[in-house]
Amino acid sequence: MRANAPNWRGRLRNLIKYVFPCRRDLERFRRSINLKETNMNWDRIEGNWKQFKGNAKEQWGKLTDDQLEVIAGKRDSLVGKIQETYGISKDETEKQLADWQARMKEISQVK
């Protein structure tokens, strides 16, 4: 019976490849789905920026204390400064920031 069962995972995978021919498009879609959660989490980071600033300094050591003060927890400002300082693409910056944000969420839940 299993051999005749429809392979829904394979079909779903093919559908995703058809709808998102470029991996970058798929990543953008995944980010847009999590946008609401991201905004809620970032509000928390922005509100507690003084606590998270040290973690940001550890992650992106080239950022100066003055730059981090000016950023003041504003996500767009942080993205811009990381791009400018490290000379990396916006997609790479967004990926790094999403990973960092996930770690900050885990850290804040452990406390």
The string of pLDDT tens digits covering residues 32-53 is 555 555 665 788 888 889 889 9
Look at residue 11 and tell me if it is in a domain: no
- The pTM score is 0.63
Look at residue 18 and tell me if it is in a domain: no
- Indicate which CATH number applies to the domain containing 49: 1.10.1470.10
Q: Could you list the residue range(s) of the whole structural domain that residue 104 is in?
A: 23-110
Alpha helices (runs of H) in 1-111, residue ranges in sequence order? 8-19, 23-33, 35-47, 49-59, 65-71, 75-86, 90-110
Number of domains in the chain: 1
- The rounded mean pLDDT for the chain is 81
- On the question of pLDDT at 111 being above 70, the answer is no
Q: 14 vs 67, which has greater pLDDT?
A: 67
Look at residue 16 and tell me if it is in a domain: no
Q: 5 vs 9, which has greater pLDDT?
A: 9
What pLDDT is stored for residue 3 in this prediction? 56
Look at residue 58 and tell me if it is in a domain: yes
Look at residue 4 and tell me if it is in a domain: no
